[in-house]
Amino acid sequence: MPRGQGKLDRKPTKSNLPQKECPVCQKPFSWRKKWAKNWDSVLYCSERCKRQK
């Protein structure tokens, strides 16, 4: 079997992850596994932006 043609596609590609825009720096940031439980309440891309509100 040639490489890259496996039976299972285990992880979503980075282009398929949900994104939001940080209100402080105006840059887009993507979903992270550590934010899985509270993605709806995540507003800032980093602690630095959170402090600069």
In this prediction, residue 2 carries a pLDDT of: 63
Per-residue pLDDT in tens (0 to 9) along the chain, 53 residues: 566 666 665 666 777 899 999 999 999 999 999 999 999 999 999 999 999 98
Residue 47's nearest CA partner among 20, 18, 24, 17 is: 24
Phi and psi dihedrals of 9, rounded to 5? -100, 100
- Three-class secondary structure of residue 17 per DSSP: coil
In this prediction, residue 41 carries a pLDDT of: 96
* Residues 24/44, Cβ–Cβ less than 8 Å: yes
